[in-house]
A = this chain, B = another copy of it.
Amino acid sequence: MPIRKTEKYEETQVYRVRHSASHVMAQAVMELFPGHAKFAIGPAIEDGFYYDFDLPRALTPDDLVKVEARMREIIRGNHPFIRKELSAAEAKKLFADQPYKIELVEGLERGAEDEDGNPLTAPPVISTYTSDAFTDLCRGPHVESTGKINPDAVKLLNVSGAYWRGDEKRPMLQRIYGTAWNTAQELEEYLWKVEEAKKRDHRKLGKDLDLFQINPEVGPGLVLWHPKGAMIRHLVEEFCKNEHLKNGYDFVYSPHVGRGQLWETSGHLGFYRENMYAPMEMDQEDYYVKPMNCPFHIHVYKAGIRSYRELPIRYAEWGSVYRFEKAGVLHGLMRVRGFTQDDAHIFCRPDQMPQEIDRTLSFCLHILRSFGFTEFHAYLATRPKEKAVGEPAQWDAAIEALRAALDRSGLEYAIDEGGGAFYGPKIDLKIQDALGREWQCSTIQFDFNESERFDLHYVDEDGKEKRPYMIHRALLGSIERFFGVMLEHYGGALPVWLSPVQAMLIPIADRHTDYARKVQEQLLAAGIRVKVDVRTERMNAKIRDAQMQKIPYMLVMGDKEAAAGAVAVRLRSGEDKGAMPVETFLEMVKQALESKE
């Protein structure tokens, strides 16, 4: 049973290294402004650390070089980190000239906050850590001594402004970001990934490749798909819809608005209202744009008396839903206010449930693999401790079915104990992209709440009315976000089958345009999406532009090619495949399409 053990970041060695590096950095900065530097907080964060300072002047890149050099000296000194517990009074005396530390000590005294200003639950112990000439208010943990930090695996990254305690009414401090790793190679890989991630940022690619816009005039978080992006979306939809049909799903379509009553019954107005768009009042009644498709699919189910023989019923819809996320959390296609789910609801008998979960999970993996993802991280989220609807026996059976399906799938998975929604357990699937980043994607989710609230039933073999199981599932999740992830995964160079333009024909001179048109007709007839670059640019400029547009194939044609009925094929990677007959090129494309390269 390949259950994956997930170690908490806070318990790892690299976390201690980073936290310790932030102390070392703080010492170096303090030494740069002797008697004039105030220091605030300096935690380890994902992939690194920072420290916030109140300094007499703005830091320069030169300063960072000096600080980094001094850090290496301190590291080489191999000074031990020494912990000391003390009273609030002692701490205040110790940090008498450090107002931010005083404020933190006062917070600890009130018992409300830890050294980083976060809310506390247990009674506070005030402690300091001293290494070399630097003492910080800190509860640790740290490495044993500065020498445990690898001096070749530490790097300062940049400086940015940050309000003290994130409060714009408090002083603006200077935050130095750094990163630290176990080995120089890890550092190098990390820095490469950061650079690569910038280049692959889907917002940048979306602009460079003219794929979509998110325009404040239209509305923050609302996406307009431009022709090339829309073509990709169309191809994704077309593929997925056909796969759904083959996999025994029925399509349904539902409106984007509905009566408030629907969301009263479903419970969304009770527990989800803050994420919903505001109501539209008409004819003395509230209407809402839908945040979810469920109530509509449920009404399709309820349109008839369902027999045990009809089940399982699987309703699928590419349903656009609207959720009013806070402006501050909106982020490109990853976090939006309107998105389309490849949504489906499965209604089945209890005895069909294990098989349905198996089927859904393997269908899910098939779909994700079709888009070129191969690494998945599965999470099984179980019954929350506090409140949960549904019988414990139902929960147990459902969790068992999810677990068994995961076991049979061969996927490694982690248990997210108590992480289920109050209305049912679920499997979450994250996909790993080419840079090793995880993205939440698919969900297979039981719902004991709505089947109850909408009073769903079917007539069983014994003639009695029984409650069906209801399973929500979305495989790509949000098509907007999935598209963003795909763009970053491929750095914009999508597989041939998803490329809006698959080949650019490049006549070398004007006299080759007729031949290019002829080849275009031939390729179009074979179903290839192809354009001709008829601009009066030089060949190399045309090739470069097509490469920038991430077009998979560039077909160059001059006198020789025209005479031979051939094309000179270049790939967007820069690889030159040489001249070949058009038929050979078609065969090459066919293979790429079949293997979804």
Contact = CB atoms under 8 A, between A and B. Distances in A.
Interface string A244-256: 0000001111111
A278 B277 CA distance: 13
Interface in A156-194: none
Nearest to A260: B219
Nearest to A290: B256
Number of copies: 2
Given A219-B287, A277-B287, A278-B280, A256 B224 contact: no
A163 to B, nearest CB: 22
A258 interface: yes
Contact of A257 (B222, B296, B303): B222
A364 B241 CA distance: 26
Contacts of A289: 256-257, 280, 289
Interface string A231-265: 10110001001000000001111111111011000
B282 A281 contact: no
A155 to B, nearest CB: 38
A259 B327 CA distance: 14
A560 interface: no
A333 to B, nearest CB: 12
A218 B259 contact: yes
A234 to B, nearest CB: 5
A338 B255 contact: yes
Interface stretch (A106-114, A209-217, A436-444): A209-217
A315 interface: yes
Given A250-B231, A277-B282, A255 B219 contact: yes
B259 A219 contact: yes
A223 interface: yes
A225 interface: yes
B234 A299 contact: no
B224 A300 contact: yes
Given A278-B281, A280-B280, A304-B210, A222 B253 contact: no
A242 to B, nearest CB: 9
A327 B259 CA distance: 14
Interface string A291-302: 000011001100
Nearest to A281: B278
A322 interface: yes
A454 B279 CA distance: 29
Nearest to A327: B283
A282 B278 contact: yes
Residue of A218, A283, A295 ringed by the most chain B CB atoms within 10 A: A218
Contacts of A222: 255, 257-258
A230 interface: yes
Contact of A226 (B215, B280, B300): B300
A255 B218 CA distance: 9
Given A213-B303, A252-B227, A338-B257, A280 B279 contact: yes
Given A213-B303, A280-B289, A304-B210, A234 B258 contact: no
Contacts of A327: 283
Nearest to A336: B255
Nearest to A249: B227
A218 B280 contact: no
A320 interface: yes
B255 A226 contact: no
Give the most central of A233, A238, A254: most B CB within 10 Å: A254
Interface string A107-145: 000000000000000000000000000000000000000
B296 A255 contact: no
Contact of A230 (B210, B219, B253, B303): B253
A332 to B, nearest CB: 15
A324 interface: yes
Residue from the set A241, A251, A322 with the largest chain B CB neighbour count within 10 Å: A251
A230 B251 contact: yes
A352 to B, nearest CB: 18
A225 B213 contact: no
A12 to B, nearest CB: 40
A217 B299 CA distance: 9
Nearest to A534: B309
A215 B251 contact: no
Interface in A388-430: none
B278 A252 contact: no
A229 to B, nearest CB: 8
Nearest to A297: B224
Contacts of A338: 255-257
Given A219-B257, A234-B241, A280-B289, 20 more contacts: A213-B303, A217-B259, A217-B299, A218-B296, A218-B299, A219-B287, A222-B257, A224-B303, A225-B252, A226-B300, A227-B252, A230-B252, A231-B250, A233-B251, A256-B320, A256-B338, A257-B289, A257-B322, A278-B281, A278-B287
Counting from the closest, the 5 A-B pairs by CB-CB distance are: A227-B250, A225-B253, A230-B251, A278-B280, A222-B255
Interface of A: 210, 213, 215, 217-219, 222-227, 230-231, 233-234, 238, 241, 250-259, 261-262, 277-283, 287, 289, 295-296, 299-300, 303-304, 315, 320, 322, 324, 327, 338
